[in-house]
Structure 1
Amino acid sequence: MHLRDLEDDKKMMVVQFLLQHSKDGIPKYGKMKEAGIKFNLGRRTVTRLWAEAKKQKDQGQLINLTSKKRFTPRLRKRVQIDIAQIQALELCRRGTIRKLAVGIQVSKSTVGRWVHLGLIRAHTNAIKPDLTAPNKLLRLRFSLEALEYDRIANILKFKTMHNVVHVDEKWFYMTKANNRYYLTKEEPEPYRSCKSKKFITKVMFLCAVCRPLFDENGNVLFDGKIGIFPFTQVIPAQRRSKNRNAGTPETKPIQSITQAVMRECFINQLIPAIMNKWPQGASKLIFIQQDNAKPHISDSDIEFRQAASQNGLDIRLVQQPPNSPDTNVNDLGWFRAIQSIQEESVCTTVDQLVNAVCKSFMDLSPIALNKVFLSLQGCMIETMKMKGHNAYKLPHMGKDALIRQNALPLTLEVDKDLVDQCIMHMIESGEAESMQDLSLQLGFGNEAHHTTIQA
């Protein structure tokens, strides 16, 4: 029972009882417990009531026990945050709470309290690719080419992207040099070792995904996961060891990914996987989007063209803009999703690592993959707002909430004024001739700036 719930008369009776059995203001041994039993109160309630009574200097008046106000201790004046002082401090001196506290000459607990209250925030900063002026124009054009004009609704929106296969490569490591674990109080710290941190076993994978297909009820018609292909080879062991005899076949990662290796992967693994998994009734024109890495083959490669024109499919290779990982769904979030699951598996051999990565790839939901494609469209909108620059914050649209409400859009709509400004920017940058057909496709054929293109 709380003190505020006690009747005033009962409070006085408890205090009077303790005063009668006190010596020099201290209740005799056992009287606190006896008072609790006598007045049917808990020991803590009796103790708090006696402590409140002792705060009165005049024992004759005791305490204003009829008051409903609780005792509020006098607080020390807190250090106030100086926003200007923090902003004036160099970023390199704001890397940790300790560095920031030393830089502005306050205690670490004060800085920690500011973080807890949300007055300052922690931010993980990643270096982005440096873009040249031509890079920005290519990024802007790439975003504009992903749009289509809906003449019925008179709106601009993104294409569905169902016939674009995004491919990219990534190294997956057996373990990380630094891992965080949560241990119990008496649990010993784990011991991990290797010959050198520079030579932690790693395998490169080629990941290929496209946008999933769903029916009207949200059931998955096509999961969009073409495949994830490891760059490994099986070779006989050259020497005997305690684990195997000489000549035993063992899986080894291919450390040097050349154009010949990439061509072999595309022709013998990627294209057959596309032909095997491509849904019936889908577009026969398929674009494989890749970055500008040197080992990548071009669309004019003779061997690739022979393999890509089979089974009635027309498979073409297209390049994404240079220095633009944010235009590929793998780099945009899909690789991170795979890695977060893969790191939960303990791997000691290359085969175990390959199995863990492939299992993580298959365990991910097609809904998660579809959300990354919507994030890609959001990034393209931000790219258009920044006129091709990558200095934007990754947009959030609350996709999980929209999924619960069954209101997740298939494609995002784009403001016509924004597209108009982007086209005008391209024209002013000397791309008037190349923008003529694109502006007509996007419904700007009768606009005033089309006259500028013709001029």
Structure 2
Amino acid sequence: MKVMFLAAVARPRFDIHGKEIFSGKIGIYPFVTKEPARRSSVNRAASTLETKVMTSVERDIIRSYMIDKVLPDIRAKWPDGNRVTIYIQQDNARTHLDPNDAQFYQAASQYGFDIRLRCQPSNSPDLNILDLGFFNAIQSLRYKESPKTIDELIDAVERSYQVYPPRILNRIFCTLQTCMIEILKGRGFDKYSVMASFGHVQGAKARPPRGGPGRRGLVFREQEAMSEE
């Protein structure tokens, strides 16, 4: 049993006293549909809505999720409002949107916002915050539960996402910065130790980012969550 999710995060923000003002968690969205059951069973009556997993996620579905789910949540949660340019980083999956997708940009420019798409460098998973550590952490939290149904699996993943500590998410963003530094040192060469970089961040007192004008970004990607059937 598995479900694919689209997750979107940004770097958390804290005030000068270290109090959280933005968790960085935009949202996590399962690729599922609700369909009425065709027959009655011991567990539910006919016509009861059942959760069905999308077996194929194509570009049109990604576009609808970005426009109908991700963009509204960005507008509702972004701490700077529409005063800054917001960049959404995606990987280079075939089904992802073209950075110049007309339908997306029409929706992304509403309400005075300037939201743009960017693709991460090819073959560089260390430059995606979700691949770098966030998905593994969410998966480990989810493993503490034993979901038996699709709905239980979705609930477990969404709870894991919501309880994930923003300060730990901020550490992963600090690790991302050290990966960028190592890549620059190697003039684009990516043979370096991520764990060594992460250890450096763990041992240092990384100052939490505070609010302020300028360009801001977030990252989204799909990930499967699995459970034993």
Q: TM-score, normalised by structure 2?
A: 0.85
Structure 2 unaligned spans of 5+: 210-229
Cα distance change on mapping 1:229 and 1:391 into 2, 3 Å:
same
Instruction: Give the fraction of aligned pairs with identical amino acids, expressed as a percent.
Output: 45
Match runs of 1:406-417 below 5 Å? 407-409=205-207
**Greater relative contact order: 1 or 2 (C-alpha under 8 angstroms, separation 6 or more)?**
2
Which residue type is aligned with residue 307 of structure 1?
A
Question: Would the aligned equivalents of 1:342 and 1:356 in 2 still touch at CA under 8 Å?
Answer: yes
3-state SS in 1 of match to 2:112? coil
| Deviation of 1:385 (Å) | 2.8
Query: Of residues 124, 142, 146 in structure 2, which corresponds to 1:346?
Result: 146
| Deviation of 1:242 (Å) | 3.0
Matches of 1:232 and 1:384, distance apart in 2: 40
Matches of 1:401 and 1:241, distance apart in 2: 56
3-state SS in 1 of match to 2:35? strand
| Deviation of 1:330 (Å) | 0.3
Matches of 2:157 and 2:88, distance apart in 1: 22
| Deviation of 1:279 (Å) | 1.0
Query: Of residues 26, 29, 49 in structure 2, which corresponds to 1:229?
Result: 29
Question: Would the aligned equivalents of 2:36 and 2:46 in 1 still touch at CA under 8 Å?
Answer: yes
Say if 2:44 is the partner of 1:244. Answer: yes
Query: Of residues 356, 363, 385 in structure 1, which corresponds to 2:163?
Result: 363
| Deviation of 1:386 (Å) | 2.9
Decide which structure has greater strand share. 2
3-state SS in 2 of match to 1:256? coil
Matches of 1:216 and 1:245, distance apart in 2: 55
Which residue type is aligned with residue 268 of structure 1?
D
Larger Rg belongs to: 1
Deviates more, 1:336-345 or 1:276-285: 276-285
Q: TM-score, normalised by structure 1?
A: 0.44
Question: Would the aligned equivalents of 1:222 and 1:279 in 2 still touch at CA under 8 Å?
Answer: yes
Which residue type is aligned with residue 138 of structure 2?
I
Number of corresponding residues: 207
Match runs of 1:172-183 below 5 Å? none
Match runs of 1:354-433 below 5 Å? 354-394=154-194, 395-402=197-204, 407-409=205-207
Say if 2:101 is the partner of 1:301. Answer: yes
Q: 1:262 maps to which residue?
A: 62
| Deviation of 1:309 (Å) | 0.5
Question: Would the aligned equivalents of 2:175 and 2:201 in 1 still touch at CA under 8 Å?
Answer: no
3-state SS in 2 of match to 1:227? strand
Q: 2:128 maps to which residue?
A: 328
Which residue type is aligned with residue 258 of structure 1?
E
Q: Which runs of 4+ in 1 moved over 6 A?
A: none
Structure 1 unaligned spans of 5+: 1-200, 412-455
Question: Would the aligned equivalents of 1:284 and 1:312 in 2 still touch at CA under 8 Å?
Answer: no
Question: What do the CA deviations read for 1:81-100 (whole angstroms, capped 9, x no partner)?
Answer: xxxxxxxxxxxxxxxxxxxx
Cα distance change on mapping 1:390 and 1:400 into 2, 3 Å:
closer
